[in-house]
């Protein structure tokens, strides 16, 4: 799938639900309260790395995609990245649970795109209906600088290559 969004484009408006990290979530007895994040307001003037996965806790996403971003967090920060966010079609509670399981705390935002509205606007969806999962976010990565796309690529298969932490770091 070729994205409709391309380098040089301004990212379309987007509002995500997410559960912001608070220390109370560390006990795993709290669920948190979803809040809204309007990216066009919150990310204006910032350098942002967004990577998307078809689903939290799924084999490739859970084992091969998110962990390298966690491991290389300091390298992203050293290259001037203000925000790192992972987007998936899961609801905000699942995304928060995944983030807590992985120990993200407030390092990487776990953003919910449950109806893949934002990913559709980018031309970056993946139809997994044959596997019983419906339409999901594709596996992709973006680098945004003041809401302008500086890098975008989508995985051609099930592997993590162009959207992985190493590939994105090399483009910063």
pLDDT tens readout for residues 96-145: 887 888 888 889 999 988 788 888 888 786 666 566 565 667 788 999 99
Q: Is 31 a catalytic residue?
A: no
By the 10 Å C-beta count (0-12 exposed, 13-18 middle, 19+ buried), 151 is classed as: middle
Residue ranges covered by each domain of the chain: 15-171
Strand, coil or helix: 57: coil
Q: Is CATH 3.40.640.10 the classification given to domain 15-171? A: no
pLDDT tens readout for residues 38-92: 999 999 999 999 998 887 766 555 556 788 999 999 999 999 999 999 999 888 8
pTM of the model: 0.87
Which of 49, 50, 61, 109 is the catalytic position?
61
């Amino acid at each position: 799938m070729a994205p409709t969004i391309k380098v040089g484009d301004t990212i379309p408006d987007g509002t995500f639900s997410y559960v912001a990290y608070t220390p109370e979530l560390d006990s795993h007895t709290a669920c948190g309260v979803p809040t809204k994040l309007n990216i066009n307001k919150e990310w204006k003037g910032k350098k942002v790395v967004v990577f998307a996965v078809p689903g939290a806790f799924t084999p490739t996403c859970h084992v091969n995609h998110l962990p390298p971003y966690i491991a290389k967090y300091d390298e992203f920060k050293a290259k001037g990245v203000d925000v790192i966010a992972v987007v998936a079609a899961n609801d905000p509670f699942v995304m928060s649970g995944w983030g807590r399981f992985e120990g993200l705390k407030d390092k990487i935002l776990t953003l919910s795109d449950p109806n893949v509205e934002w990913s559709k606007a980018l031309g970056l969806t993946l139809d997994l209906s044959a596997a019983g999962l419906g339409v999901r976010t594709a596996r992709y990565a973006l680098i945004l600088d003041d809401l302008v796309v500086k890098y975008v690529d989508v995985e051609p298969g099930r592997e993590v290559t162009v959207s992985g932490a190493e590939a994105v770091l090399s483009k910063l």
